Structure 1
Amino acid sequence: MKAKKAKVLSSMVAALLVGSLAAGCTSNSSTGTDAPKASDQPKTEGKKEERSLRMMSAVIGGKTPEENVLFEKEIERVTGIKAKLEKPASDYNQKLMAAVSSGEKYDLLQVSKELMNTLTDQGILMPLTDQVKGSKTLQDPEVIPTAEWDQVKTKDGKIFGVFSKFQGGTMPIVRADWLKKLNLPEPKTFDDYYKVMKAFTEQDPDGNGKKDTYGLSTAGMYELQGFFSGAGLKQRYVEKDGKLDVPYSTDAAIPVYEWLNKLYKEGILDPNFATNDTGKMRNLFLADRVGMITYWDAWVGMLNNTRKIADANTAFEAKGLPGVAGADGKYMLRRGDPDVWVIPVNAQNPKTAFEFIEWWHSKEGIVLGSMGIKDTDYTENGGKYELTQAGKDHAMDHGVPFWYNKKFPNPFGLLPGVKEAQDLVIKNATLELTPPKWADAEKIINEYSFKAILGEMPAADAVKKMREQLKAAKLID
């Protein structure tokens, strides 16, 4: 699907560039220099820039069209900026590109890093390096940790997008209460994980007297990074000496596939793993059917909270694990691509757009992006916040479930287990490299990975076939 989207994006981007050039739009990126600081932005045709913004977002905003209108009014109430926020209900990337390629002008777009890279390559985005470096707010490590900027920098060190939220990562998630019940230590090695998962399968951890539990469930190959970490292998692509490769298709991956096949043959791995979606996997975990899954750090807290709501006295405890350490003793988890705010080169109010980006990382911006709209989603009295029923239903997520700014801690605290899981991500996770043709490569990787895990082919043969097909399709160098 992503490959098809990439082709659509490329054609639309080409149309946009032609239109932009015809209209006389220019970008500093064409000269290889950054745009001026927000405070030095030239005025359009000598007119003072309006304090208004036209924005488009996939996740930021109201939960319904009606609430989105209130979201716009809340932006104006708090900042004085008159905002028009468009939030398509589906097919966000296609609708965004269709609008932009037709010549429509936006001041701010909220996009994934992957889409930001595409737009950057086509010269559609305004470079923000100077503005970011000159921003007291964004340069404050208490607001955004300095090392995080490496996620959004281009190879030559330029910045075209600013984080819209904190994006977490994935890891193995274990039933810590089952570990305690069966007197098992937290696993660290492949052998440790095998023993723990075997015990979860055979020692009746749910106490119902039946052998109806599994050690591990996944949603296909989704987020097995924590186990491939033991072989020092990164998910998706890596680039070395200018060449692209897929570590899961190398001989180094064979022992990991063989280990997973062992789990499958012995009934430790959920037999439906290949056809599970993430919902089925989570439900097995919540229903005491499986002792370990592979998923996002944020879900550690949501899983714990779900069971706590159902039963205040539950012993249920989900906990994130770092996976298996490689030969160098290091763990290798997956970091999700960050969502970012970007400013198109044809933005009418770029100074106001950057002002909004800075504000988004303030206390007031975070409150709006998380809790939502005052007197609709929450009430506030003397610095004390209380969620309304609507706010509870919206789960403190209007596009920013987690944020960087340490100066404004979550007034309700984090859900149990989330902080520890996020710390594992920050310490051990890095971004994936996802070129436009990843979707084509993923089909081949999944096909032969499943054959290896299910025992339909020896792991060595499956890896060999996987690699041959990836090379034949020119998906690896």
Structure 2
Amino acid sequence: MYIKKTGVILSAAVLAISMLAGCGSGDSGTEPEALAVLKDGKYEPPITIAIGKQLDENAGKYKTGESVDDNVLTRWALENLGIKTQTTLLGGDAGNYNTKLRLALTGSEKLPDLFPVYDTTLANDLIESGRVKEVTEDIAKYMPARLKEIYKQYPTTFNPVVRDGKVYGMAISPNLTEGQVMLIRQDWLDSLQLEAPTTIDEFESVIAAFTNEDPDGNGKNDTYGFTFSGKDGYNTGWVSDPVMIFSAYTGKKLPMQWSEENGKLAYGSVADGNKEALAKLRDWYSKGYLNKELATQGAWDAIADFTEGKAGIIVGRPWLYDSVKDVEKNVKGAKVKAYATIQGVDGDRTYQNGQLNDGYFMFNKDFSNMEAFFLYYDKLYDAAFGTGDFQYGYAQGYDYDIVDGEVVFDPTKFNEPMDAIQGVGKMAFTKNTPAVYPAGKNFYDLANGAKPDNGPLMAADSAQQTTKDGYVISYENRDSLLPSAFNGPPTATMQTSWEQLTTMEKETFTKIIYGNEPLEAYDAFVQNWYAKGGTQITEEVNEWYAGTNTKDAMTKMGLE
């Protein structure tokens, strides 16, 4: 993907903009500020933008004396852009954040000026409430050219936030995510003289050996084959994911998401092949090949079993290695290697949930400084392009350092060594560092002879070999990534029945795997799914799909 490396286009004239508390009033709840002007790319006097923020498992890790509103990135924005961000809505995990945002929507609390939304149901409710800003003209007027080049490549990401040709939000850093790989205990394979599995039968043979043949050689029956999380369903899309086992039997019809075939959308959890996948998982569970607490374990719990040396295979995006590599320190002789996910029973590849974005930016209806937002947002992309102040990363001594004239990305080799880099991208309102190229491309280019002559390539080159290998594998298999064909607002019947159907699905799948229900319970589930709203939902989803047309909105935004 080629993206023209243009910067923010600013008028040569001084642009005067009146500001009311981050340029909003009413709901934004901030105090009136003095008249601010944008001069040479910086607001004088500084302006304040109230934001909402979700802190995930890797965010909120600040150096001593720093915090969510006072850290190296917020100080940079204030000094260089004249923009201060003030967090007025802060949540923990996704559920906690969504609860707080919904309380702000339905209660007396005030919505921030800018806030990410990670749930399309909540996005729909926000639009229906009339409390979020319509931003069609703002995008056309203020979005910098290089960002427009990115957004025009992902028109479907606007589906959840378009109503009657008007746009009420925008995807956060749209880009196709990296695919998943298998991380396998290579030392276990070697000790048992096994090859990495490429088919479902080979996979079964390996996890059986990992469970029964003492791969760690300690004389104890304390290992098992495959760890994953079933707590949040059976298609996480990122880590601790068993979806390749389902896809081995269902192909492109993945559980918990919608796929397209011959112009029609269908829900993957009721597709042919799921019963066979459940039968296989049920058999493996009964034989001890899987983690016994999979139904109650979240993704990071499943990861812990691998890191502690209990499990032999885990599936996730390539960066997962950085989260499990401690097993190589914790267990003498442990070695982890990345491999491509297995093939399906028909010899075709298995497929995965390919996400195009992580949530949506939405704005308080009274927020009137979209230009400031785009100025800041565009600057954050410098870390991905390797340009501007962020050509190597966001902050020297945090996510990179310069040691004896050389750019260094290994935190243990910094001038002031650290155990791990500071995730400065996690401190931003984007929650993650934006990406501009197909995920893994930098690693693929390096593996094929490219020179690490810019910041992003240098950072990729500094990664550990297992991480590099994983990204190359995921990039080479990027055609296996399938974004859900339905990403619109909940249909009428979804709003009344989807939660019940989803609960029924997870409970049925788990009970079958655990052996608490017969395999035939899947057939009853399919019948009940259609009878209790699935038929109507499928019709409504297809009506939405037939009427989906973002073309007019894209034209209005200047993204045609």
- What range describes the TM-score normalised by the shorter chain of this pair? 0.7 to 0.9
2:284 maps to what in 1? 263
Instruction: Provide the rounded CA distance (Å) in 1 between the counterparts of 2:264 and 2:377.
Output: 36
Separation of aligned partners in 2, 1:364 and 1:76: 21
CA separation of 1:239 and 1:197: change in aligned 2, threshold 3 A: closer
Change (3 A) 1:372 1:340: farther
C-alpha distance in 2, partners of 1:180/1:420? 19
Counterpart code for 2:359:
D
| Structure 1 residues 309 and 319, CA gap change in structure 2 (3 angstroms) | same
Contact 1:57–1:109 (CA under 8 A) maintained in structure 2: yes
Distance across 2 between alignment mates of 1:356 and 1:172: 37
Amino acid aligned to 1:384: V
Q: Is the 8 A contact 2:342 2:349 kept in 1?
A: no
2:313 is aligned to 292
Corresponding residue to 2:114 among 97, 103, 108 = 108
Question: Taking structure 1 as the reference length, what is the TM-score of the superposition?
Answer: 0.74
The letter for the 2-side match of 1:470 is W
8 Å Cα contact 1:59-1:87 kept in structure 2:
no
Structure 1 residue 77 corresponds to structure 2 residue 73: no
User: For residues 242-280 of structure 1, what are the alpha-carbon distances to aligned partners after superposition, in whole Å with 9 as ceiling and x for unaligned?
Assistant: 987532234431111111122123332333333333343
The 5 A counterparts of 1:12-411 are 51=43, 52=47, 53-59=49-55, 63=61, 66-71=66-71, 72-86=74-88, 88-90=90-92, 91-99=96-104, 102=108, 104=110, 106-112=112-118, 114=120, 115-116=122-123, 119=126, 124-127=132-135, 131=140, 135-139=144-148, 144=150, 147=153, 149-150=154-155, 152-154=157-159, 160-164=169-173, 168=178, 170=180, 172-220=182-230, 221-222=233-234, 223-230=241-248, 231-232=250-251, 233-238=253-258, 245-304=266-325, 306-310=326-330, 314-325=333-344, 327=346, 329-336=348-355, 338-363=358-383, 384=407, 386=414, 388=416, 392=420, 394=422, 398-399=426-427, 403-405=434-436, 408-409=455-456, 411=458
Contact 2:395/2:424 (CA < 8 Å) preserved in 1? no
Secondary structure at the aligned position of 2:482 is classed as: strand
Secondary structure (helix, strand or coil) at the match of 1:248 reads helix
Report what 1:414 is aligned to.
463
Instruction: Check the 8 A contact 1:201/1:211 in 2, yes or no.
Output: yes
1:93 maps to a residue whose letter is: N
Q: 1:401–1:173: structure 2 CA closer, same or farther, 3 Å change rule?
A: farther
Q: Give CA deviations for 1:428-452 in whole Å, capped at 9, x if unaligned.
A: 2233457566543332112211232
Higher relative contact order (CA 8 A, sep 6+): 1
Further displaced range: 350-359 or 104-113? 104-113
Q: Tell me if structure 1 keeps the 8 A contact 2:354–2:482.
A: yes
* CA distance in structure 1 between the aligned counterparts of 2:421 and 2:383, rounded to whole angstroms: 22
Deviation at 1:133, TM superposition (A): 11
1:54/1:85 contact within 8 Å kept: yes
Contact residue 188 and residue 325 of structure 1 kept, 8 A: no
Cα distance in 1 for residues equivalent to 2:371 and 2:151 = 24
With over 3 angstroms needed to count, the CA separation of the structure-2 counterparts of 1:287 and 1:138, relative to structure 1, is: same
Q: Partners in 2 of 1:328 and 1:429 — Cα distance?
A: 17
Distance 1:164 1:327 in 2: 36
Q: Give the drift of 1:332.
A: 0.9
**Against the structure 1 CA distance between its residues 89 and 411, is the aligned structure 2 distance closer, same or farther, given a 3 Å change threshold?**
farther
Give me the whole-angstrom Cα distance separating, in 1, the residues matched to 2:455 and 2:534: 45
Q: Give yes or no for contact 1:106–1:344 (8 Å, CA) kept in 2.
A: yes
Which residue of structure 1 aligns with residue 553 of structure 2?
none
Q: Give the total of aligned pairs.
A: 433
Structure 1 unpaired stretches of 5+: 1-36
Quick one: structure 1 residues 84 and 293, their matched pair in 2 at CA, closer, same or farther if it must change by over 3 Å? same
Structure 2 counterpart of 1:424, one-letter code: S
RMSD between superposed Cα atoms in Å: 4.3
Q: Following TM superposition, by how much is the alpha carbon of 1:361 offset from its aligned partner in structure 2, in angstroms?
A: 0.7
Q: Structure 2 length normalisation: TM-score?
A: 0.64
The Cα of 1:405 is off from its aligned counterpart by 4.2
- Tell me how far apart the structure 2 counterparts of residues 161 and 113 of structure 1 sit (CA, whole Å): 13
Seen in structure 2, the aligned counterparts of structure 1 residues 383 and 288 have a Cα distance that, compared at 3 Å, is closer
Question: How far apart, CA to CA, are the structure 1 residues paired with 2:264 and 2:37?
Answer: 45
The farther-off stretch of 206-215 and 234-243 is 234-243
